[in-house]
Structure 1
Amino acid sequence: MTQIKNIRILAMWAVLGLCLYSCKKDKDKGSDQVQLINFGPTGAKHGDTLRFVGTNLSQVTAIQFTGQAAMVEKSSFTQQTNELILVIVPSSAEKGLVTLKTPAGDILSKTSFNINVKTTASITSMTPAARPGENITLKGNYLNWISRIVFNQDKVVTTFVSQSLNEVVVKVPDDAQTGTLTITFLGTDSVDIETADTLRVALPLATGITPNPVKHAQNITITGTNLDLTRTLIFTGVDAPVTDFVNQSATQLVVRVPGAAKTGKLTFVAASGVQTIFNSDLDVSIPAIDSMSPNPVDPGAELTISGANLDLVSAVTFANAPAVTSFVSQAPTKLVVSLPIGVARGKITLGVLN
């Protein structure tokens, strides 16, 4: 009986020992896994030392930051032990998750790495002048952290043609105005930097007008530079700006003279609303009366008006009568019209082509 009891006790110890051995084996197997516990500081600057804390970190072969060419190889680690890795933050590192490279696979950080570019970001140069719609280039440091560029008068651009660590290319908005740019850099401590230089945005500039003098409803040809940037053209004496052109290019603008136009300056308005004024007057010819005969004249009789530019007249208005738009005859120096019935003594008004 005692012998059987001893055998049972030995069997129990054997089973217990097997369990302990199995558990130890599983534990040893689990201890080989690389584990990232934390890293920081997350608001480091480029060139700062970053600490990665975990277990079995000696198996890490490289650390991949977000950004182009932002991989730090094992050979470049400042320090590496099972529990700690020290690395220098590469200049191309951007905001994002960090990946630890190991033979068993990648380990992705649970939190994003951010960076402080406030004291290191800078603009060293930019394209000095451009037309609306053209690309300009800005150069400097950590330009890959730019989130937006604000042109004069709060014209915000958040999409860039290209962007890298030291260069950003951006399209000038159609309604941009001459002025400095304000650059916003992201990071744990974001910063706005205003450019030291002014971006000069091209405007339409007239250098000549032909013919001059000109008659109403006649086309004029304006020569100059950047005339294709003209959105509206303002004639002296005309309330509504002209927006419909006969022909338009960078060096030439052809437009019909409105009927209400008077002698005076031409004003060119760009998409930004900025105006440029041609320094010479546009001389607009208008009808002029020298004499009328017979005078006095009876209603229903013909009246001969003599003067200049009378071929521009489209209507003659008498006192107490509707406008007359059909003439007996018309020439540059003579206009013959039948007086309407009911006309009263008074002045006459000449309407011009419009």
Structure 2
Amino acid sequence: MTKHPQPDGPSSENADVRADSGALAVPAVTSISPTSGPTAGGTTVTVNGSAFLGASSVTFGGTSAPFSVNSNARITATAPPRPAGPARVVVVTPGGTSTNPVFFNYQAPPTPTVTGVSPANAQTSGGTVVTITGSDLSGATAVTFGGTPAVSYTVSSNTQITATAPPRAAGPAPVVVTTPGGTSNETVVVFFVSAPVLLNLSPTRGPVAGGTVVTITGSDLSGATAVTFGGTPAVSYTVTSNTQITATAPPRAAGPAPVVVTTPGGTSNAVSFAYIAVPVITAVTPDQGPATGGNNVTITGSNLTFTSTVTFDGTPAAFTVLSDALIAATVPPGTRAAQVSVTSPGGTSAQLTYTYVDAPQI
């Protein structure tokens, strides 16, 4: 009978079979790549070794992992979620369980840090869009302002989040970001600021040419970023205190103009400032009278409603505004032709001549 020579070792097809007994070889794990990953799991890990065919289980620290057998010497596994620390990678086959000390190191994600916010102020009514800067912000699960959740937020990058501030009472509020790595510091704050409130103006009228210096009083005026008259920016303004602003009115057409102050806390209510056109006079009737004065005249024209002074050659006359087009005045004493003018918050009119007539001599 012919005997066939025996091979020196197991064939490649039967590498996991023991030559002496026919039993399956015990699997061995020799290395893995990569060797670390996050505690959240999900890392694709290549497991290198031998006798992997027929593998029924791959575990990381005793936790089962999804896997596929690529060859007798290679398995591709997905690391399952686990606490931080080393986890032995074990392969189980019909031949047994690997015992090699090969570990996958689970790394906890870094704790986020908040280093800055912009802007530093937010409206108590909510809605201010705040850019949060820092580190390790990816995967944020919460953003809070003084413990109150943001209305919404978007993680722009590992170093930036854009969040919409919620409504909150006035005062400082720590901005805190939470990620799988933990909760950030509470040292960066946004100051919630109330919207300004206007109470009154002084004066309340001025010329259409602008230039009137107006004192605005109210509350929460600090940090004002704009002062407008009917939507037109003030020529200039100075925040004197939290309750007062001094502003120079810009030129505008005649009529009411709502004055509004804007701060980081929002936009104020409106208080009306009246723009007054320059008065115009067209006639003084009668246009002459005794040097002793005391006679009554009527002055006709336009834009006369807010008349503050009527003068004859600079001498004030008593007067009554009858309408926007008519004034009744009592002529003061004089000795010659006098220039009559009318002044209002809108300015001073052009002049008309009134003639003083000497009493007849006997």
User: Shorter-chain TM-score: what band?
Assistant: 0.3 to 0.5
Which structure has the highest helix share of the two? 1
TM-score, structure 2 normalization:
0.41
Q: Which has the larger radius of gyration?
A: 2
TM-score, structure 1 normalization:
0.42
